[in-house]
Amino acid sequence: MREAEARAVLTNGYTARMEQPTGSAAPTARARARAELTEEIKACASRHLAEQGAAGLSLRAVARELGMASSAVYRYFPSRDELLTALIIDAYDAVGEVAEAAATGKGTMVKRFTAVAMAIRAWAVAHPHDYALVYGTPVPGYAAPRDTASPAARVSLAALQVVADGAAAGEVDVSVRRPMPIPKATRSDMARLRVAASIDLPDEVLLRVLLAWTTVFGTISFELFGHLHTVVEDYEAFFRHQVGRAALHVAGG
Amino acid sequence: MREAEARAVLTNGYTARMEQPTGSAAPTARARARAELTEEIKACASRHLAEQGAAGLSLRAVARELGMASSAVYRYFPSRDELLTALIIDAYDAVGEVAEAAATGKGTMVKRFTAVAMAIRAWAVAHPHDYALVYGTPVPGYAAPRDTASPAARVSLAALQVVADGAAAGEVDVSVRRPMPIPKATRSDMARLRVAASIDLPDEVLLRVLLAWTTVFGTISFELFGHLHTVVEDYEAFFRHQVGRAALHVAGG
DNA sequence: ATCGAACAGAGAGCACTGCTCTCGAAAGGA
DNA sequence: TCCTTTCGAGAGCAGTGCTCTCTGTTCGAT
């Protein structure tokens, strides 16, 4: 029994302990209560995270605020890191959602790309600790990669889609004035990316997008982590301008 | 007495407690021992940091390894965060040093800029936890800004100098094909930067450098923090290529 | 409806952390 | 020599993550 339980936790995480609705929608009262309390714990932890950051997130503190014993929380999350992982997934989904919403807008590729970047930054500024949790220093060794992989991809795919649309509309200049030789390894990296993202863009354009992408997150990280403290005063104006540059570069400018 | 001591700690930090050599170089045995032990603590803490990261750095653990009581360490560093701040300053100096060394090389601006970026990345890959400490999520609220400001600037100034040299040699195209209107706030930001860095480059070029700069650190952070995990296999080739693109962009390409 | 198994909560406890306080020993300058 | 400052050690406090054990409840199958 104990071994089976341990294995379940190892393979499927805490969700494995939730009783699945048995075909016909009949969630037992206990399962409902469990799902609710799980959400409540996550919500409370998210609040604590927003206030004090990941380092200050204490399982005992959320248990106290929820009026339960600290040991009871372990029925829902097997460890503090698992709780953090759940919050990471939520954060990925949140930023992915705002990016996708911004990507659906109309206009030129440069405009849409800028809109996506601005949306990401706005989310990051509004939720700095969530941003840090996701795009800052990884928490322990690092968080579970499998569970976070697909939510993490959403935000990037949104941007790639914008560029793919722009390329289809002829807004992307594929001719290179001064071609840089692309290393063989990087070529195969891009080939793999094309398959994984199901997006047909030439190496040249993909690399331009990645350049712009690292600029977006590099600039946001610099802003939030204080590396532009003595340089920039109006962060939003600076960011919009730089993202515009990056988007023009993607278009081939 | 107590109040005076507290004020000294608040204003000057732990260094205020070190006895200054009284004019003529006569460091007492105690002062020497103190300086040595301070370095020893820092070195030991740095080792722990390299192994387990900032989160796993325990004052008690370094005290144990040094064979002293944990309370004795507080004679040298008033808190764990101050110890971390000392490590942050050392890390800034370390990365600044390798960047400056790389910047002294000869060749075109693109070559030198790439060399600086490659040196930074090599340092980051060799000391990932130090990099995370400096360019990742800020540790508590945040570290002392005054003490870290000037070491932090070294690495950026090295890159700016490379570009300034390139501009002096006529390697930077100042004419803009498709000029992007620069916001007034950003214009004054750049004006301030010109004064602070004592480097005379037009807004256009400074903004290009900042774009490349955020690309450099954005790419390194993406690599070290696992955001390119499923995309790139040969990180060094990818980085070199992207930095080359960024450097060409700085040159006006 | 009953019974055994699974589950949920609470409490005690372990090992660890940062940090403070107090005390005695050592070193420094007068 | 004496007196102040410094230093190291130990005990102790409040807090942490996590485990274990014990009780009461709920669930599903008989």
- Are B8 and B73 contained in the same domain? yes
Could you tell me if residue B117 is inside a domain?
Answer: yes
Predicted pLDDT of residue A175? 80
Predicted pLDDT of residue A145? 60
Task: Answer whether any strand D atom is within 7 A of the Cβ of A29.
Answer: yes
Task: Answer whether any strand C atom is within 7 A of the Cβ of A154.
Answer: no
Of A30 and A167, more confident: A167
pLDDT in tens, A149-180: 888 999 999 999 999 999 999 999 988 777 79
User: CA of A248: how far to CAs of A108, A113, B145, B176, B208, in Å?
Assistant: 11, 10, 35, 12, 12
Q: Do A249 and B248 touch (CB under 8 A)?
A: no
Strand positions, DSSP E, chain A: none
Question: What contacts A225, CB < 8 A, 6 or more positions away?
Answer: A132, A136, B135, B136, B137, B138
Say how many C-beta atoms besides its own lie within 10 A of residue B6's C-beta: 10
- Are B22 and B108 contained in the same domain? no
Selected for mutation to probe chain B from A51, A95, A137 (highest B CB count within 10 Å) is: A137
- Are B123 and B216 contained in the same domain? yes
C-alpha count within 13 angstroms, C-beta hemisphere, residue A245: 30
- Are A104 and A171 contained in the same domain? yes
Of A225 and B21, more confident: A225
Give the gap in angstroms from C-alpha B148 to the nearest C-alpha of chain A. 11
Question: What contacts B130, CB < 8 A, 6 or more positions away?
Answer: B46, B49, B50, B87, B91, B94, B95
Please tell me the distance from the alpha carbon of residue A201 to that of residue B193, in angstroms, as a whole number. 38
User: What residues of B are in contact with residue A246 (Cβ under 8 Å)?
Assistant: 211
Q: Do B248 and A180 touch (CB under 8 A)?
A: yes
Strand D close residues, chain B 15-54, CB < 7 angstroms: 17, 19, 30, 33-34, 37
Predicted pLDDT of residue B3? 37
Please tell me the distance from the alpha carbon of residue B119 to that of residue B99, in angstroms, as a whole number. 6
Using the CA of A60, give the nucleotide whose C1' is nearest. Answer: D16
Could you tell me if residue B203 is inside a domain?
Answer: yes
Bases of strand D lying below 7 A from some protein CB:
5-12, 15-21, 26-28
Find the CB nearest B221 among A218, A241, A245: A218
Which tokens belong to A203?
Answer: 């190496």
User: What residues of A are in contact with residue B197 (Cβ under 8 Å)?
Assistant: none
- Are B180 and B98 contained in the same domain? yes
- Work out the average pLDDT over B153-159: 96
Say yes or no to pLDDT of A1 above 50: no
Q: Are B215 and B242 in contact (CB under 8 A)?
A: yes
- Work out the average pLDDT over A60-86: 97
Residue B147 pLDDT class (50, 70, 90 cuts): confident
The mean-pLDDT minimum among A231-245, B133-147, B187-201, B230-244 falls in B133-147
Nearest protein residue to nucleotide D6, judged by CA and C1' positions: B30
* Percent over 70 (pLDDT), chain A: 87
Find the CB nearest B221 among A142, A193, A221: A221
Amino acid at B31: A
- Are B66 and B165 contained in the same domain? no
Q: Do B230 and A149 touch (CB under 8 A)?
A: yes
Find the CB nearest A136 among B136, B180, B207: B136
- Are A17 and A73 contained in the same domain? yes
Of A65 and B179, more confident: A65
- Work out the average pLDDT over A116-135: 97
Bases of strand C lying below 7 A from some protein CB:
6-13, 16-22, 27-29
Could you tell me if residue A86 is inside a domain?
Answer: no
Write out the residue range of the structural domain in which residue A31 sits: 2-78
Give the gap in angstroms from C-alpha A105 to the nearest C-alpha of chain B. 22
Q: Compute the mean pLDDT over every residue in chain A, rounded to the nearest whole number.
A: 88
Total structural domains in chain A? 2
Please choose, from the candidates B192, B196, B189, B188, the residue with its C-alpha nearest in 3D space to the C-alpha of residue B149. Answer: B196
- Give ∠ CA A237-A121-A107 in degrees, rounded to 5: 75
Say yes or no to pLDDT of B217 above 90: yes
- Are A21 and A102 contained in the same domain? no
Predicted pLDDT of residue A13? 35
Could you tell me if residue B84 is inside a domain?
Answer: no
Name the maximum alpha-carbon separation found in chain B: 67
- Are B62 and B146 contained in the same domain? no
User: Which of B78, B101, B131 is at the close of a domain?
Assistant: B78
Could you tell me if residue A84 is inside a domain?
Answer: no
Say yes or no to pLDDT of B10 above 70: no
Residue B149 pLDDT class (50, 70, 90 cuts): confident
Could you tell me if residue A241 is inside a domain?
Answer: yes
Q: Quickly list DSSP for B67-95.
A: TS-HHHHTTT-SSHHHHHHHHHHHHHHHH
Amino acid at B29: A
Predicted pLDDT of residue A143? 56
Predicted pLDDT of residue B200? 93
Q: Do A186 and B222 touch (CB under 8 A)?
A: no
Question: What contacts B198, CB < 8 A, 6 or more positions away?
Answer: none
Please tell me the distance from the alpha carbon of residue B196 to that of residue A231, in angstroms, as a whole number. 9
- Work out the average pLDDT over B53-72: 96
pLDDT in tens, A190-233: 999 999 999 999 999 999 999 999 999 999 999 999 999 999 99
User: Which of A52, A78, A104 is at the close of a domain?
Assistant: A78
Of A13 and A93, more confident: A93
User: Which of A78, A112, A128 is at the close of a domain?
Assistant: A78
Task: Answer whether any strand D atom is within 7 A of the Cβ of A59.
Answer: yes
- Are A126 and A243 contained in the same domain? yes
Could you tell me if residue B43 is inside a domain?
Answer: yes
Residue A23 pLDDT class (50, 70, 90 cuts): very low
Strand positions, DSSP E, B78-167: none
Amino acid at B152: A
Predicted pLDDT of residue A144? 58
Please tell me the distance from the alpha carbon of residue A114 to that of residue B163, in angstroms, as a whole number. 27
Q: Do B138 and A183 touch (CB under 8 A)?
A: no
Could you tell me if residue A85 is inside a domain?
Answer: no
Residue B140 pLDDT class (50, 70, 90 cuts): low
Task: Answer whether any strand D atom is within 7 A of the Cβ of A74.
Answer: yes
Predicted pLDDT of residue A28? 86
Q: Quickly list DSSP for A180-245.
A: PPPPHHHHHHHHHHHHHHT----HHHHHHHHHHHHHHHHHHHHHHTTTTTTT-S-HHHHHHHHHHH
Q: Do B232 and A149 touch (CB under 8 A)?
A: no
Of A1 and B196, more confident: B196
- Are B73 and B113 contained in the same domain? no
Predicted pLDDT of residue A26? 61
Task: Answer whether any strand D atom is within 7 A of the Cβ of A58.
Answer: yes
pLDDT in tens, B86-112: 999 999 999 999 999 999 999 999 999
Task: Answer whether any strand D atom is within 7 A of the Cβ of B2.
Answer: no
- Work out the average pLDDT over B137-165: 84
Say yes or no to pLDDT of A8 above 60: no
